[in-house]
Amino acid sequence: MIFVTGGAGFIGANFVLDWLRTSDEPVLNLDALTYAGNLENLAALQGDSRHVFVQGDICDRALIDRLFAEHRPRAIVHFAAESHVDRSIHSPASFVRTNVDGTFTLLEAARDYWSALDGEGRAAFRFLHVSTDEVYGSLGPNDPPFAETKAYEPNSPYSASKAASDHLVRAWYHTYGLPVLTTNCSNNYGPYQFPEKLIPLMIANALAGKALPVYGDGRNVRDWLYVGDHCAAIREVLARGRVGETYNVGGWNEMPNIDIVHTVCALLDELRPDAAGPHARLITYVADRPGHDRRYAIDARKIERELGWRPAETFETGIRKTIAWYLANQDWVAHVQSGAYREWLARNYGERRA
């Protein structure tokens, strides 16, 4: 069995679904079911004995110890995190608690569990920590992409909390010998992504005829990674990654945000035309968020060289699949757009002047 944290969230749920499509090895899935955790993401696994779901907090050491003792996992894949930069600007304390304290709790529980294992089980155990490219800071237009050796320069409460968790993972390897692996990924997109993030927000707003808010001049650049490709990379790192190493996972798709928005609009014009006119008419430039990093780019040559992984999707194929999924799953979108979600949109975008 593998132990997955945050397995009802966007990337975690995609990983759990993908894992059980390709393997009969059971998954112990721990998720606190905050606003971004959604059991509807896992509806396809209802009644599947290979999937053991537990609602709980990664900061609850007694719970984590009990789950290790009862289920005896051979590995832990740690997705659970607060992950939205805008939310971290408004409420940094929850990011420190989940991303720093939560990772610390998991590391300590895993260390105690691993230390008590016998020879073969001890040698095989892995702690895989899923992180972000945002820990590396911001790039200039001509700077080389982030390599694994890039110094950390986090600029938001979110990225600082993830950088802290990365440092804890590294320290538990070097100090205690805990067999860890770390992945730092670029911007994910795909099915089940909560519509506070750029792509699902643009899809949802465009379909509703609402403004498509674009920060600043829209020229902030990100590398885009289809979530299915990310899941495949994590499987490879878990299976064959070198203990103690970090692997950057990227899509080789650097694009400005405004180009992403125009691509979404053009595909919606094709797949779900609006009688009122092209969806791009809804694009609205709004005040930028504080400390908005200008550019991220991932150098993913190490994982290709050592493990043979490359993304299977181009941005063109991945974004088409993503929009098709959202069009086919409007009930899911409606269910996650709760009153709390609407309040968040009003708080984050309502006071931004065009």
Residue 159 lies in a domain: yes
Model pLDDT for residues 83-105, shown as the tens digit of each residue: 878 888 988 999 999 999 999 99
Residue 341 reports pLDDT greater than 80: no
14 domain residue, yes or no: yes
pLDDT in the model for residue 155: 94
Q: Specify the higher pLDDT residue, 336 or 302.
A: 302
Question: Which of 57, 86, 133, 166 is an active site residue?
Answer: 133
Give dist(CA 63, CA 171) in Å, integer.
Answer: 24
| CA distance linking residue 263 with residue 32, whole number of Å | 34
Q: Give pLDDT, residue 340.
A: 60
In a domain, 212, yes or no: no
Q: Is residue 22 part of a domain?
A: yes
Domain around 13: 2-189+225-252+296-313
pLDDT tens string 240-253: 999 999 999 999 99
Residue pLDDT, tens place only, 33-49 = 987 788 999 999 999 99
The mean pLDDT value for 243-271 works out to: 98
* Residue pLDDT, tens place only, 112-144: 999 999 999 999 999 999 999 999 999 999 999
| Annotated catalytic residue 134 | yes
Q: Is the pLDDT of residue 346 over 70?
A: no
Q: Is residue 336 part of a domain?
A: no
The CATH number linked to 12 is: 3.40.50.720
Q: Of the residues 134, 236, 299, 313, which is catalytic?
A: 134
Report the number of distinct structural domains present in the chain.
Answer: 1
Catalytic residue list contains 158? yes
**148 within some domain:** yes
245 in a structural domain: yes
What's 199-235 look like in SS3? HHHHHHHHHCCCCEEEECCCCCEEEEEEHHHHHHHHH
pTM for the predicted model, two decimal places: 0.94
Q: In the prediction, which pLDDT does 148 show?
A: 98
Q: Of the residues 113, 136, 158, 215, which is catalytic?
A: 158
C-alpha distances out from residue 299 to 191, 295, 296, Å: 25, 13, 10
Residue 61 lies in a domain: yes
